[in-house]
Amino acid sequence: MNKKNEFPTFPAGCESLLCKHLTKEIFEELKDKKTQNGFALEDAIHSGVVNPDSGIGVYAGDLESYTLFSKLFDPIIQEYHGFSPEDKHKSNLNPNDLDAPNLDPKGEYIVSTRIRVGRNVADLPLGPAITKEQRNEIEKNVSQSLQAMSGNLAGRYYPLKGMNDDIKAALIADHFLFKTGDRFLEAAGLNRNWPEGRGIYHNDEKTFLVWINEEDQLRIISMQMGGNILEVFTRLSSAIQEIEKKVAFSYSEHLGYITSCPTNLGTAMRASVHIKLPKLAQDMTAFKAITDKHFLQIRGIHGEHSESEGGVYDISNKRRLGVTEVECVQDMVNGVKELIAKEKLL
Ligand code: ADP
Ligand code: ILO
């Protein structure tokens, strides 16, 4: 058991970026520092300390965490995104710059497409350090702004508190809603006061959705069945522009959009397909060679830390910082094109 404010010990075989980059020297230098929101090093590392199977293991409590604890965050960001402290982030949400032809016209491989971005409200703490009152205020303001949306983005907000259990389970099983009780988020302090202040907004077709106050204060999502990636990106891009007219988001020239998990910094974008690759899945080395080449990540179909089912995988961009939104989606498009070509050959 690790003691408070003592250098944590990690079990043998621990592969998290936290355990790799948290040296005793850095720990001693940072352990008594706190951001203006009272967020300390031990809060930032708690999730990775109690979950040694974490891939990353750290969360930020606010924008200041990224500078105050930069000796820990910078090498983690560098290793995950290949982005150095001198680099600047860049943005491009223009669908006209995306080269995304229909990769699967007969609908044999791509089951569904989803692109999401994370956003947090400017000048407030991030989820791990936010107060209950601040969180509830965000829910109120953001859900009101969303309910004023029109056209194909018009919809309704459904608070998690009081949501019927069957409806909740169906929304999760159909990949629309976040799960409850994630142990990584729990240890990061992101599940405090659950389910209060959380909820989901969606249009009737459930092609445009916004999660409120999960890992990030907003997760803006565009998704639909099949492989029309351009349509999904175009919808997301216009939705983001609409929301940005009403809500100011936390953004820095260096790190782009600020998120609680450093893997999401920058574009905060994850563009994914659920894709059937049963033959290629028999040879994970060949599979991984293609995903690595295109900077892609393989997940199971019930989200991160879940397994594949029936040869269907969640394939998404891994890089999010120092690349534009168009480049994130382009990574996914290029890789999926090659994955389908390989599956066809087998
Ligand atoms: P994130 O919100 O960070 O992308 P997850 O990996 O937890 O995190 O995914 C959230 C939900 O979105 C899960 O239910 C997952 O199955 C679903 N999802 C992700 N990609 C797709 C996709 N291409 N089609 C359908 N559902 C998807
Ligand atoms: N803290 C977890 C998850 C890291 C990346 N994923 C998300 C959802 N942010 C880990 O370190 O494995």
Sheet of strand 269-276: strand arrangement: 155-159, 199-203, 208-212, 218-225, 110-119, 269-276, 312-317, 296-299
- What secondary structure letter does DSSP report for 179? P
Smallest Cα–Cα separation from 225: which of 277, 280, 174, 178?
A: 174
Cβ contact 264:118 at 8 Å:
yes
> Which of 54, 76, 178, when mutated, tests ligand 2's pocket best, judged by the most ligand atoms within 8 Å of its CB?
54
Q: What per-residue confidence (pLDDT) applies to 202? A: 95
Let me know: does 42 contact 48? Beta carbons within 8 Å: no
- 110-119 and 269-276: which strand pairing? antiparallel
Between the CA of 57 and the centroid of ligand 2 the distance, in Å, is 7
Do the domain assignments include residue 4? Answer: no
> What pTM value is reported for the model?
0.96
299 classed as catalytic = yes
**Of the residues 54, 81, 108, which one is the last residue of a structural domain?**
81
Closest atom of ligand 1 to 116 CA is 4
State the Cα–Cα distance between residues 120 and 303, nearest whole angstrom. 21
Tracing tokens 């995903």 back to the chain, one arrives at 291
The CB of 299 under 6 Å from ligand 1? The reply is yes
Structure tokens at 62: 């606010």
Cβ of 97: how many Cβ atoms within 10 Å? 13
Residue 313 falls inside a structural domain: yes
pLDDT for the residue 3: 64
Protein residue whose Cα sits closest to atom 4 of ligand 1: 270
Is 47 close to ligand 2, i.e. is its CB under 6 Å away? Answer: yes
Same-domain pairing of 61 and 203: no
The one catalytic residue in 263, 267, 291, 324 is 263
Q: How much is the CA Rg of the chain, to the nearest whole Å?
A: 20
SS3 46: helix
Residue 86 belongs to a domain: no
216 and 330 both lie in a single domain: yes
Cβ atoms of residues 45 and 3 within 8 Å: no
Cα 254 to averaged position of ligand 2 atoms, centre (Å): 21
Query: Among 81, 106, 128, which residue terminates a domain?
Result: 81
Q: Give the per-residue pLDDT at 275.
A: 96
Residues 65 and 180 in one domain: no
> Ligand 1 within 6 A of 302 CB?
yes
CA-based end-to-end distance of the chain: 49
Same domain, 26 and 166: no
Whether 35 contacts 3, CB under 8 Å: no
Dist CA 15 CA 24 (whole Å): 17
State yes or no: is 261 an active-site residue: yes
90 touches 292 (CB < 8 A) = no
**Distance, CA of 252 to CA of 266 (rounded, Å):** 9
pLDDT value of position 309: 78
C-beta 304 within 6 A of ligand 1: yes
- 96 burial class (0-12, 13-18, 19+ CB within 10 angstroms)? exposed
| CB 55 near ligand 2, within 6 Å | yes
The CA 32 to ligand 1 mean position distance, Å, reads: 37
270 classed as catalytic: yes
**Which residues have C-beta within 8 Å of that of residue 139, sequence separation ≥ 6?**
159, 197, 198, 199, 212, 213
SS3 call for 186: helix
171: Cβ contacts below 8 Å, ≥ 6 apart: 177, 200
∠ CA 150-217-238, nearest 5°, is 30
Choosing from 56, 81, 106, the residue where a domain stops is: 81
Same domain flag for 151 and 267: yes
Which ligand is the nearest neighbour of the Cα of 304? 1
Q: Would you say 296 and 335 are in contact if contact means Cβ atoms under 8 Å apart? A: yes
Ligand 2 atom 2 nearest Cα: 54
42 and 133 co-located in one domain: no
Dihedral over alpha carbons 214, 157, 231, 170 (to 10 degrees): 70
Write out the chain's pLDDT in tens, 346 residues: 566 789 999 999 999 999 999 999 999 999 999 999 999 999 999 999 999 999 999 999 999 999 999 999 999 999 999 999 999 999 999 999 999 999 999 999 999 999 999 999 999 999 999 999 999 999 999 999 999 999 999 999 999 999 999 989 988 988 899 988 999 999 999 999 999 999 999 999 999 999 999 999 999 999 999 999 999 999 999 999 999 999 999 999 999 999 999 999 999 999 999 999 999 999 999 999 999 999 999 998 877 667 777 889 999 999 999 999 999 999 999 999 999 999 999 9
- 119, 235, 299, 320: the catalytic one is 299
Boundaries of domain holding 75: 17-81
For position 312, which CATH number holds? 3.30.590.10
Is residue 242, in this structure, part of any structural domain at all? Answer: yes
The pLDDT score that the predictor gives to residue 11 is 95
Ligand 1 probe mutation, 103, 115, 265, 272, most atoms within 8 A of CB = 272
Ligand nearest to the CA of 187: 2
Catalytic residue list contains 219: yes
Domain assignment present for residue 193? The answer is: yes
215 is catalytic: yes
